[in-house]
Amino acid sequence: MFMGEYHHNVDAKGRIIVPAKFRENLGETFILTRGLDRCLFGYPLNEWEIIEDKLKQLPLTKKDARAFTRFFFSGATECEIDKQGRINIASPLFQYAQLEKECVILGVSNRIEIWDKQEWENYFSESEDSFAEIAENMIGFDI
């Protein structure tokens, strides 16, 4: 399981350090793809297979299913963590997430998320007041 918030900078070659606490669960190789809300999602291979199986079950005849599957899979890339604990983020993903120098890496249950620091701060401040309402509206959600 992934949890926590970590701040790291992207270097001149487009690499970012993956927090040590995340590396073991991600494995040496994991999948990085476009996420929702202009961030990147990173999945260990076993979690990626589960998602892949779910997406394969979507009906090909549904326009939204085709669009989401294209969005999700076309951005997917296999990442390897180097000996210094860094990954190289592919240019299309880097551009999609509008990453600048400062980034935030979040642990979110079965995945990690990589955000541009300013985008994360904007998202968090805009959403913070509605977290209680969101939790209240989720069926069967109890903290």
Q: Which two tokens stand for residue 75?
A: 């951005």
DSSP state at residue 88: E
pLDDT for 130: 83
Confidence bin at 122 (pLDDT 50/70/90): very high
Q: Is residue 143 classed as helix, strand or coil in its secondary structure?
A: coil
The CB-based long-range contact list for 5-9 (8 Å cut-off, 24+ gap) reads: 5/104, 5/105, 5/106, 5/107, 6/104, 6/105, 6/106, 7/102, 7/103, 7/104, 7/105, 7/117, 8/103, 8/105, 9/101, 9/102, 9/103
Mind listing the domains of the chain with CATH numbers? 2-137 (3.40.1550.20)
- Digit-coded pLDDT (tens) for 45-84: 999 999 999 999 999 999 999 999 999 999 999 999 999 9
First CA to last CA across the chain, in angstroms?
18
